[in-house]
Chain A
Amino acid sequence: MNTQINSDYVPDVLVIGGGIAGLQSALDLADQDLRVLVVERNSSIGGRMIGLSKVFPTLDCASCITTPKMSAAAHHPNIQILTNTEVQAMETRNGIHSVRLLQKPTYVNFDKCIGCRLCEYACDTEYPDPFEEGLGSVRAIAVPFTNAIPQKAVLDAEHCATCGVCARVCPTDAIEFDQQPRTLTIHTDSVIVASGFNLNAVTVKPQYNAARSSNIIPPTMMERLLAPHGPYGRVLRPSDGKIPSSVAFVQCAGSRDESIGVPYCSRVCCMYAIKQAMLLSGALPLADITIYYMDIRAFGKGYEQFFQNARAMGINFVRGKVARVDPIEDGDLRLHVETTDDAENPLQEHRHDLVVLAQGMIPAWNPAATTPVACASDGFVATPSLTDPTATSAPGIFVAGAAAGPKDIVDTIAEAGAAAMQVSRYLHEKRAAVLVGQAVHG
């Protein structure tokens, strides 16, 4: 791993995104002796998956799967990683992709930083931790999270009080207040777009009133509450630290809805809601847990059994649609539901003290604006060929994972492997053609 590479470095493949899709592709390609550059806009690789608690349907620890892959990529001799780096533009000429990158300053010299965190312990400025979905706090200079890779401190200039204490305690003089943004252009034969997904805002549907209550939370926040090293060390509701006694999951709260511009199904919400409900029933054995759903889409291997197990565990499934969520006294929420489970009493009201809204998956990046890669009408990267689902509209540029559309971790990893093989085949054919050309023309 070398975070200080320059424009003279020519990788065989540039991977955009250091999440599970990008890392799997990078590892598969690097093992074939191809040189890979991974570009990650955050301060650590690991993407969305490193923030999850457990994965469905096996309930394996998510970071136990992700961390070894992060570490393997960081230590692989054929993989270089640039963190805090964004793709600004890309153009293709004669089959060579020129990718302009912007590396943002971290104000820490990564060659000198030993990850001792003395700067972090000395800093007395804290702000809501983005890794903990704002629930916890992080200091203005900090290693982003416990198992972050690289294990290097990063200074957040926006929150820094510029007191200089970090530089005064750093044993290796790694703090560099005069670092500047750096642009560099990388020339490469092929690219994999693995830029992942975001969730639409928890406030996207005003009738769910998330802006009026901190106890109406997105699923990513529930993942952090359930994670062993989560912000509170246990499941508490964010408004006042109460141990929840009645938790509701509102499904399709940000997808399958034309009115908010997300008509498609986000594919993973049913399963993660069931997973979170199961984990919650373990963490809070006395709590009532209810999932309000339109239909359960348990499409993968072992998923239906997982759903049936949840029912058997006593998780309450209510078929219907939540029309409105109203904040009421004591920080609680009242859900107005129309259900098909009770023909005589279809309009019901239920009280809960914590509500999780299943937000819709939307693309994290729009490559169409600055690169030759086209996007489909849903905003995800277009994959024109049914028989070649990792190929984009641009030759030599492939896509993997949720950048091409909502998908779960299993499908993402399979697709990342497929994209790596397609890149490998593409490079082999491209280079063979060059050799043939040279032989023919002398």
Chain B
Amino acid sequence: MAMKTLTAEQKKALAALRESIGGISDEKRQKQKHLLTTRKALMKFLEQQPATVPQIAEALQISADEALWHVTGMRKYGKIAESGEDGDYPLYALAALEEKAHSGSQEVKP
């Protein structure tokens, strides 16, 4: 994806927006950090094998409803795909690995 550099006006407007929403609080910063680290850990965990939501929750030490929320978001944006079922729970796998398994391709898309 082509990334442009922000112009001086855009930087100024962005700073004004940041100020208008009361700045980025520590809580918001922590929340964002937690989101990114959890997603990264989830991707890493699913590299090993497909897993159910309770299994993901246990591995990542988060609640099951939070694990489901992350899986849902990552599924929406194409990072994760459903991959069969284990008892009463669907299994989730990395979308790239799923695609490879179904297409027989040797290349794993980034």
Contacts and interface: CB of A to CB of B under 8 A. Distances in A.
Given A161-B28, A162-B18, A233 B75 contact: yes
B64 interface: yes
Interface in B1-29: 1-6, 10-11, 13-14, 16-18, 20-21, 24, 28
Interface in A158-185: 158, 160-162, 164-165, 167-169, 171, 175-178
A375 B65 CA distance: 41
Given A122-B1, A168-B4, A232-B72, A243 B90 contact: yes
B101 to A, nearest CB: 18
A344 interface: no
Which size class do A's interface residues fall under?
35 or more
A324 interface: no
B21 A236 contact: no
B57 interface: yes
B3 A128 contact: no
Interface in A210-261: 214, 231-234, 236, 238-243, 245
Contact of A161 (B13, B24, B53, B82): B24
B107 interface: no
A177 to B, nearest CB: 4
Interface of A is mostly: loop
B89 A158 contact: no
A162 B88 contact: no
Given A157-B21, A233-B75, A234-B90, A241 B52 contact: yes
Interface residues of B, number: 41
A121 interface: yes
Given A136-B72, A241-B68, A168 B3 contact: yes
A227 to B, nearest CB: 13
Interface string B81-105: 0100100111000000000000000
Nearest to B54: A240
B71 interface: yes
B78 to A, nearest CB: 9
Given A162-B14, A176-B13, A178-B13, A241 B71 contact: yes
B26 to A, nearest CB: 13
Contact of B68 (A118, A169, A240, A243): A240
Nearest to A214: B65
B20 A164 contact: no
Nearest to A239: B65
Interface of B: 1-6, 10-11, 13-14, 16-18, 20-21, 24, 28, 32, 35-36, 52-54, 57, 64-65, 67-73, 75-77, 82, 85, 88-90
29 contacts: A107-B17, A122-B1, A124-B36, A135-B69, A136-B69, A136-B76, A137-B70, A137-B72, A137-B73, A160-B17, A161-B32, A162-B17, A162-B24, A164-B10, A164-B14, A167-B4, A168-B5, A168-B6, A169-B4, A177-B10, A231-B76, A232-B68, A239-B64, A239-B65, A240-B54, A240-B67, A241-B71, A241-B89, A242-B88
Interface of A: 107, 118, 121-122, 124-126, 128, 135-137, 139, 157-158, 160-162, 164-165, 167-169, 171, 175-178, 214, 231-234, 236, 238-243, 245, 331
